[in-house]
């Protein structure tokens, strides 16, 4: 392990020199953790998993983290993350599919406890029937927790979102956890080019007193909230305490947006802003959407892409603006419920132009050709289907 020196967070994220490596998505996440001055990582090696927590174990053994342990199970892991963070540490964990759902009760309480942490969500199917394939339906369960939810398209996004995630999460006016989601296998197990900051530079350590709720101080919420919890009373004050607290969590979520602009170049990326038909996609569906834009270009069709990087806070205003003149909006997804299509429909006024699909699930690949079929039908193009399947 090289001697790491602390550098300013803005310098590390925005200016530090970068070196290009060809690595997997799981490696990209561990490389970000390596540069994030993380104190403790806790995980439970449930099946399915990605290699992330295994790789973080490796870098702990090399001395990049102060502590690492295997929890008794996911609920324990996620509860222990809360404890470590309230105690002043910078913490990281990662999980997948069924593991995420098992830990969800603890995770859903992180924002209310004002826990700044980063959670890697490497999506797999939610059982049953038993399977371990990629499918991102689990992100739907995270959307109403109050946490910031970022969705990475590729290995580069995984690195950038994870490293920036710690900084955004610990901003005093945010101070809620950040989930960095990406597709299992398609991104975690596949290699891509990642431009990374130098290995010998790391973020400044967490300053637990730079917080809206100082740790271990029993007179200030949320510790105070735990001691004199609303549950102990049934009166207007107790309702109010909880209501105000929830409002504050969601306001914090919205306040994260300015940092998403600062560190991640904004919550959306737009390719071909003057397009007639837009594909709106997140995660690796955005990569497929990028290829669909290329296919369309070859055929002389005016198709654009809106890649949604931030699912929470959801960039309603930005999406509404881009889609104002679009004739049709296609939302391809790696899940059956179509959580992104619902978000998009809720964000724009003329939402009858939103085509929810194509959707694949259960581990299937999302062929660009399926997206193109929607493009053709949106543009009223009739194609003789010659491909034999």
Strand-pairing partners, residue 91, are 40
Minimum distance, C-beta of residue 60 to other proteins, in the bound complex (Å): 28
Q: Which is nearer to other proteins, 190 or 220 (CB)?
A: 190
The answer to whether 268 touches 306, Cβ cutoff 8 Å, is yes
Minimum distance, C-beta of residue 41 to other proteins, in the bound complex (Å): 27
Minimum distance, C-beta of residue 283 to other proteins, in the bound complex (Å): 10
Minimum distance, C-beta of residue 183 to other proteins, in the bound complex (Å): 8
Q: Which is nearer to other proteins, 154 or 197 (CB)?
A: 154
Number of residues that bind other proteins (CB under 8 A): 24
Q: For 267, phi and psi rounded to 5 degrees?
A: -80, -15
Q: Which is nearer to other proteins, 57 or 134 (CB)?
A: 134
358 to 43, 290, 367, 371, 383: CA distances (angstroms): 34, 15, 9, 6, 17
Query: 190: Cβ–Cβ under 8 A, 6 or more apart, which residues?
Result: 24, 25, 155
Minimum distance, C-beta of residue 312 to other proteins, in the bound complex (Å): 24
Residues 318-377 that bind other proteins (CB under 8 A): 365-369
Q: How many CA atoms lie less than 13 Å away from 293 in the CB half-sphere?
A: 24
Minimum distance, C-beta of residue 204 to other proteins, in the bound complex (Å): 35
Q: Which is nearer to other proteins, 196 or 281 (CB)?
A: 281
Is 93 a binding residue for other proteins by CB under 8 A? The answer is: no
Q: How many CA atoms lie less than 13 Å away from 84 in the CB half-sphere?
A: 25
Query: 249: Cβ–Cβ under 8 A, 6 or more apart, which residues?
Result: 111, 112, 146, 176
Residues 236-295 that bind other proteins (CB under 8 A): 284, 287-288, 290-291, 294-295
- Helix, coil or strand: residue 123: strand
Q: Which is nearer to other proteins, 26 or 59 (CB)?
A: 26
Q: Which is nearer to other proteins, 218 or 388 (CB)?
A: 388
Q: Which DSSP string corresponds to 169-224?
A: HT-TTT-S-EEEEEETTTTTTSEEEEEE--TTEEPPPP-TTSSSS-TT-TTSTTHH
Q: For 328, phi and psi rounded to 5 degrees?
A: -150, 150
Q: Which is nearer to other proteins, 201 or 368 (CB)?
A: 368
Minimum distance, C-beta of residue 389 to other proteins, in the bound complex (Å): 5
The token pair at 323 is 């889609």
Sheet holding 354-359, edge to edge: 268-271, 303-308, 277-281, 328-333, 354-359
**Which member of 128, 130, 218, 389 binds other proteins (CB under 8 A)?**
389
Q: Which is nearer to other proteins, 291 or 316 (CB)?
A: 291
**Count of Cβ atoms closer than 10 Å to residue 213 Cβ:** 18
Residues 26-65 that bind other proteins (CB under 8 A): none
Residues 183-242 that bind other proteins (CB under 8 A): 183, 185-187, 190, 192
Residues 108-167 that bind other proteins (CB under 8 A): 154
**Site for other proteins, rule CB under 8 A:** 154, 183, 185-187, 190, 192, 284, 287-288, 290-291, 294-295, 298, 365-369, 386-389
């Amino acid at each position: 392990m090289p001697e790491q020196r602390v550098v300013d967070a803005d310098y590390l994220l925005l200016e530090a020199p970068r070196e290009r490596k060809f690595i997997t998505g799981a490696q990209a996440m561990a490389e970000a953790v390596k540069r994030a001055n993380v104190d403790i990582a806790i995980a439970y090696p449930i099946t399915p998993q990605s290699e992330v927590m295994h790789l973080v174990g490796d870098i702990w053994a090399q001395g990049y983290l102060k502590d690492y342990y295997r929890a008794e199970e996911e609920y324990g892991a996620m509860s222990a993350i809360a404890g470590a963070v309230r105690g002043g540490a910078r913490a990281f964990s990662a999980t997948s599919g069924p593991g995420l759902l098992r830990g969800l009760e603890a995770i859903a309480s992180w924002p209310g406890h004002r826990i700044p942490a980063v959670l890697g969500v490497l999506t797999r199917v939610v059982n049953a029937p038993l399977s371990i394939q990629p499918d991102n339906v689990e992100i739907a369960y995270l959307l109403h927790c109050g946490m910031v939810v970022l969705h990475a398209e590729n290995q580069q996004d995984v690195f950038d979102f994870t490293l920036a995630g710690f900084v955004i999460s610990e901003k005093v006016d945010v101070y809620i956890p950040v989930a960095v989601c990406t597709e299992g296998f398609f991104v975690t197990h596949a290699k891509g080019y990642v431009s990374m900051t130098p290995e010998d530079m790391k973020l400044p350590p967490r300053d637990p007193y730079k917080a809206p709720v100082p740790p271990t101080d029993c007179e200030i919420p949320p510790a105070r909230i735990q001691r004199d919890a609303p549950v102990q009373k049934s009166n207007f004050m107790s309702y109010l305490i909880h209501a105000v607290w929830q409002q504050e969590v969601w306001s914090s979520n919205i306040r994260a947006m300015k940092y998403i602009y600062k560190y991640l170049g904004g919550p959306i990326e737009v390719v071909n802003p003057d397009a007639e038909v837009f594909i709106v996609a997140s995660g690796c569906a955005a990569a497929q959407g990028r290829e669909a834009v290329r296919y369309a270009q070859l055929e002389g069709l005016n198709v654009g892409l809106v890649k949604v990087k931030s699912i929470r806070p959801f960039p309603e205003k930005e999406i509404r603006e881009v889609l104002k003149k679009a004739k049709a909006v296609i939302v391809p997804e790696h899940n059956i419920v179509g959580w992104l299509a619902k978000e998009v429909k809720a964000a724009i006024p003329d939402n009858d132009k939103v085509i929810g699909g194509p959707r694949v699930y259960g581990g299937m690949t999302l062929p660009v050709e399926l997206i193109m079929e929607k493009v053709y039908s949106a543009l009223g193009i009739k194609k003789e289907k010659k491909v034999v399947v």
